[in-house]
Amino acid sequence: MPSEEPMNHIVGGRGTGGCSRQARERRLRSVGVTLFEPGQPVVWTYRPQVPPHQIYLVEAEVVHVGPLRARIRLRDAEGNILLRWVKPERLRPKQANETLLLYPAQRMSR
């Protein structure tokens, strides 16, 4: 029979340590992550996982903010609107008169 004591769970290779959602949120607030609001223009620091590993500063708009991730709306190089879930630490408020890049479009190879 399973014991009554809290168990540590493994999620994505990391142990949760049996901590509650409130404890995780408190920990995130203590890190000093900037809070964003829906509709706020932001800059997303995007780094692709495939070569070349360049860092792009992409113009975006916050759509939804959760305790662990934020959802942003952005345009790719072809003009399509995309939605992405990103970590809040990869976002910063957009400055006035700041020129940014569009999200790199995936190219079809034939």
pLDDT, averaged across the chain? 74
pLDDT of residue 41: 92
Nearest to 69 by CA among 103, 44, 102: 44
> Residue 81 — φ and ψ, nearest 5°?
-90, 130
CB 99 within 8 A of CB 57: no
- The DSSP call for residue 89 is G
pLDDT, tens only, 11-64: 444 445 556 767 766 665 554 456 788 999 999 998 888 777 788 888 999 999
The CATH number of 34-93 is: 2.30.30
For residue 103, pLDDT beyond 90: no
pLDDT of residue 17: 54
Where on the phi/psi map is residue 29: left (φ > 0), alpha (ψ -120 to 50), or beta?
A: alpha
Structure-token pair, residue 40: 């706020």
Structure-token pair, residue 46: 């995007």
pLDDT of residue 5: 42
pLDDT of residue 42: 92
- Which residues contact residue 86 at a Cβ distance below 8 angstroms, ignoring those fewer than 6 apart? 44, 69, 70, 71, 72
For residue 66, pLDDT beyond 50: yes
For residue 10, pLDDT beyond 70: no
pLDDT of residue 39: 92
